[in-house]
Amino acid sequence: MSQKIVLMLLLVAMVGTTMVQGQGTRVGFYATTCRRAESIVRATVQSHFTSDSSIAPGLLRMHFHDCFVNGCDASILIDGSNTEKTATPNLLLRGYEVIADAKTRLEAECPGVVSCADILALAARDSVVLANGLTWPVPTGRRDGRVSLASDTSNLPGFTDSVDVQKQKFAAFGLNAQDLVTLVGGHTIGTTACQFFRYRLYNFTTTGNGADPSINPSFVSQLQTLCPQNGDGSRRIALDTGSQNRFDSSFFSNLRNGQGILESDQKLWTDATTRTFVQRFLGVRGLAGLTFGAEFGRSMVKMSNIGVKTGTNGEIRRVCSAIN
């Protein structure tokens, strides 16, 4: 039996014993009401991924941004003026068409049964698997929210946040420091724009014109070439240099080597508390090791149960972009 299969089986067992109780979600929620629900979502994500692999980090990030605002209720998907998707932190989110496509297929198969919130949670997991990450069982049974306000996004984690601020924002949802480091590790796939980190390369402090000292000096010149001071701020750069399309632990190696792209990411290494978890993912001698793929699944289950609406709360949207 391969190591990957063993880890997957262990993860299934761990999730089964650590799943948040009383949330109303459970693995296999649609087993009798829409038997093919998960396979339809998986096939839809696979189809889009085949055409454009960058959809994987897009869907993962969208799920994260949804859960951190009013819970995991698909409020990020609602169209309209002043909805969440119009807020500055969400303007570059992508993957809406994947969720809409999956919803159309599910409505044809099981009308009014599968929520958009569950589609998004499943699609995030399937995206990780397609990027060569481990799978995990996704508890389902969420219902969709009816409220989506841009003003509610003000507390989303930001790329300049200190580790203390990041920990506070995660702790507000029952996520600890290990969950923080693990979930930020999702940056092992995907890109960011020069405009979100270029300030680290030029005139970083008011006392000089140098780069952020936490960046490896040899890496600074590489980034300056990719992101000139007066160049195109929308140019996309890999968050995990050398491995942007593969879900693995190399993101943490880059942090250790001073090659974190976002300031908030690199701070996970410069802060003693979070650095310990980075080191554990890297298998540093003398520390109890952690397997990134397995821990990511566990933390994703915790995150996906934030503020879920179940039972008679919320609704099952017919179209994910509009309240019924």
What residues are annotated to the active site?
Answer: 65
First to last CA, the chain: 48
- Alpha-carbon gap, residue 18 to 5, rounded angstroms: 20
Distance CA 66, CA 78 (A): 11
- Residue 236 is given by DSSP the state E
Question: In three state form, how does the secondary structure of 168-233 look?
Answer: HHHHCCCCCHHHHHHHHHHHHCCEEEHHHCHHHCCCCCCCCCCCCCCCCHHHHHHHHHHCCCCCCC
Task: Count CB neighbours of 213 within 10 A.
Answer: 13
Residue 282: both structure tokens together? 């890297």
